[in-house]
Chains A and B, each alone.
Chain A
Amino acid sequence: MRPAALKVSLTLALAGFLAAGAFYARPVGAARPYEGQTIRAVVNAEYVKYSLSLVEKDLYDKLGVKIETEVIPLDAFVSKTLLEFNSGSSPWDLVMFGPSNMPDYGRHFEPLEPWIEKLKLDFAMDDIVPVFAKVMLRYQGKLVSMPYDGDIHIMYWNKVAFERADNQKKFKAKYHYDLKPPKTWKQWDDAAEFFHGWGWDGSDKKLFGAGASYKPSGSGYSYHWWRSRFFSYGGQYFDKDMKPLINTAAGVRALEEMVKTMPYYPPGVLLFESEEPKTMLVKGEVPLLYSWTSTGKRVGNKDESVIAGKAGFGLVPGAEIDGKIVNRPAITPGRGMAVSKYSKKKEVTLKVLEFISTPDQSLKIVMDPKTIMDPWRVSHLRSPIFRKAFPDADKYLDAIEATFPYLVPDPVVPAADEYQRKLSFEITEALAKRKAPKEALDTAAAEWDKVTERRGRDKQKAAWGEKLAEMKALGIEYHPDWAAKAK
């Protein structure tokens, strides 16, 4: 199956390139057909603005358009943009958003299909990684956005830690199996315990067992770290009647393990957002981390990384169920870009959206080590430039691709973001030992019920029903018995 898939993707990538080429070759009238026009984009952090600046020059050279980017800090972003949208107007043409907000947001976006026809736009749709195409593009069946940042989790390890003969000997003596990059949560926890507190790189430094982000900010970091365990233990967000399943055996086991292994994580982990553990990984202080794919670019960035060329990339661990390993890494939808329904410059904005999304322009954005934007086109993963951008970049990109078949999406129903953050908050309550794991998850489930009631149970049930079917198609179902037998 693998080679065939590879071939298909390769053809797709080629098609993507050709499409991009066609775009350039197409006589668009005079050079810079939109000379003198300025559009406004709104993004949620300075580093996103930085990423847009990477394509500014080409955009002007080809289309004659300039982008003015407004940054609204992440924590006020969605509410401020919703405020503007609800008033039936917005000062922005291009909107960047978190796809978990799509159900609350999508009605303010311009459907793209009519414009594709009208302007003969080409978004090289076939070149978009299918999982992203599934979760990031549509609102009520209509195409409304393009990915900008494809977020999934993969695992990173420091090869020095795993390959030192001394470490291997000691590990074997203690745990009676070979020291290898962990495949299961049990192995992960063993490795974290083993590596914690001593100089596994041969130094006499105090180093740590593993890295993680446990702060409940953003869309809920601790939730993203809990859910990979939860799903591999057979968990599911809701049953078909919207009854939360997060406080079932799978959830409790996942959280109990996290609480138990807290001592093996670096001090401060409870307030780590995405970047802090990455810094610890690239500085050689933690041997293990699973996190967003942008981590790999920092690993390879020799300006800051001491493990460039010495890092391994792979699948996030799973659980051994009946002799088979079940991996359920997270797809946390990242960022999308859409055109505001209230924009007065829709045509040029659509042109800009198309331009930014072209395989080679978007490649510049996802390749830059400072952007935190992750690959979302098949051609990004196959790009010869990217594959040689830093030592082992090819292995890194292959690891991303190998992860795609296992991904579990967020529960993207109305109020998805709120469900996630409420759960993330309770998870940190347990991690901070302010509540027992079961108690924390019960509270979270009660909070989820409150959200469901408020938003209308029937409406939520309908939206969730669709997601449930999608997940079933991916082979993700609730298995109440797994938590007990998972190894």
Chain B
Amino acid sequence: MRLPMLALKRRQWEPFAFASPSLVLIALVIMFPLAYSFYLSFLDFDLSVGPDANFIGARNYTESILRDGRFVGSIVNTAIIIGPALAAELVLGLGLALLLSRVARGRPIITALLAIPAMVSPVMAAMAWRMMFGVKYGAINNLGLQLGIIDVYFDWFGSSALARASVVLVDVWHNTPFMMLVLLAGIQSIPTELYDAARADGATPWQSFWSITLPLLKFTMAVGLMIRLIDLTKLFGLIFVLTYGGPGSSTETVAFTTYLAGFKDFRMSYAAALSYVIVGGVLLLTLLFLWIQRLREARAA
């Protein structure tokens, strides 16, 4: 008689028991500091002034949005970099995943080799590319010279547009492999019978791609895009090593501006406020993304 009751209770506390280690850790190492830094964002804590700080209300927030042209500009820059990067990564990643899915022999090793850039830290990736982009002595220009495409003096960061394109190029190199892996996983989970049936109906590979692969891959693509979108809003390491936000401010991203405010201007409170503005923005963006997704699903149904 007592057993089911105990079981019921057990059912209630057991999930908590299982989840508790990470919940406790998250509370300690993320929630508490987060609350603290939120509090910090209402002070004027400045490392070079000293450990004491005053409460200044929402002034950091108003400054960030109304008086800090550089921060607002960096939002624009981030958007300009995110757009093409996401598109290129999706298209290239999909292409590679499709190619890989057609390969019978050596697929694991080729996949693994292609995946390597995604496992390298942004700082490393940027360091390697910075050495390759070099004018006259760099690998890329010299390769271009031998192929007769570009001059060795081609400056990959010579103008705003070019610098942004170069940053996108490196990011595409760095993160397309991730997209490729995710999409390949998605493609492989599509039942092959669907293709067999389509072929029996006389569909060309092109038709079956449009009518089977793409629709069934939609969810996977959305997941991949969302993760990349979130990560791109934090784009920092690449910029830090490759361009330092330059030339001028053309590649200065929100994460980089925040870093400068905190680590170079020592304005830790202001940097905290900037981070909350960014998180708020990203949250809005994600919700919008999910909402559109749901809307389209609803329409499709």
Contact = CB atoms under 8 A, between A and B. Distances in A.
The reply to whether A and B meet directly (CB within 8 Å) is yes
Given A215-B244, A270-B246, A270-B247, A414 B48 contact: yes
Contacts of A268: 134-135, 155, 157-158
Interface residues on A, range: 35 or more
Contacts, number: 91
A162 B216 CA distance: 70
Interface string B233-264: 00000001001111111100000000000111
B135 to A, nearest CB: 4
B88 to A, nearest CB: 23
A216 B244 CA distance: 8
Interface in B132-146: 134-136
B158 A267 contact: yes
B153 A206 contact: yes
Contact of B248 (A104, A414, A428): A428
Interface in A415-451: 415, 417-418, 421, 425, 428-435, 443, 450
Contacts of B264: 75, 78-79, 417-418, 421
Interface in A57-93: 75-76, 78-79, 82-83, 86-87
Among A87, A105, A450, A454: residue with most chain B CB under 10 A: A454
Given A75-B240, A82-B48, A432-B248, A267 B155 contact: yes
A271 B157 contact: yes
A217 interface: yes
Interface string A265-291: 011101100000000000001000000
Nearest to B241: A75
A79 B248 contact: no
B208 interface: no
B159 interface: yes
B299 to A, nearest CB: 42
B231 interface: no
A431 B247 contact: yes
Contacts of B46: 454
A431 B248 contact: yes
Binding site of B, secondary structure by majority: helix, strand, loop or mixed? Answer: loop
B160 interface: yes
A215 B242 CA distance: 11
B69 interface: yes
A271 B153 contact: no
B154 interface: yes
A455 B245 CA distance: 26
A428 B246 CA distance: 8
Given A83-B47, A104-B48, A415-B48, A270 B157 contact: yes
A457 B131 CA distance: 44
Contacts of B135: 266-268
A270 B266 contact: no
A79 B246 contact: no
Interface string A210-235: 00000111000000000000000000
Interface residues on B, range: 20 to 34
Contact of A432 (B49, B250, B262, B266): B250
Contacts of A79: 47, 262-264, 266
Nearest to B135: A268
Contacts of A418: 264-266
Interface in B153-199: 153-155, 157-160
A82 B47 CA distance: 6
Among A104, A271, A421, A425: residue with most chain B CB under 10 A: A271
Contacts of B215: none
Contact of B266 (A104, A429, A443): A104
Contacts of B249: 425, 429, 434
B219 to A, nearest CB: 40
A431 B158 CA distance: 11
A270 B249 CA distance: 11
Contact of B51 (A86, A267, A425, A450): A86
A76 B262 CA distance: 10
Interface in A79-138: 79, 82-83, 86-87, 101, 104-105
Contacts of A75: 240, 263-264
Contacts of B21: none
A157 to B, nearest CB: 21
A454 B45 CA distance: 11
Interface in B241-294: 243-250, 262-266
Nearest to A81: B47
A221 to B, nearest CB: 10
Contacts of B50: 86
A418 B51 CA distance: 19
A267 B263 contact: no
Nearest to A440: B248
Contacts of B136: 285
Given A82-B266, A267-B135, A267-B155, A432 B246 contact: yes
Given A83-B47, A414-B48, A443 B154 contact: no
A48 B158 CA distance: 31
A87 B51 contact: yes
A432 B243 CA distance: 13
Contacts of A435: 248
Contacts of B51: 86-87
A163 B263 CA distance: 48
B159 A432 contact: yes
A105 B266 CA distance: 12
Nearest to A77: B263
Contacts of B265: 418, 421
B153 A267 contact: yes
Among B135, B158, B160: residue with most chain A CB under 10 A: B135
Interface in B18-64: 44, 46-51
Given A78-B264, A104-B48, 6 more contacts: A216-B244, A267-B153, A432-B250, A434-B160, A434-B248, A443-B69
6 contacts: A79-B264, A104-B266, A270-B157, A270-B246, A271-B243, A434-B250
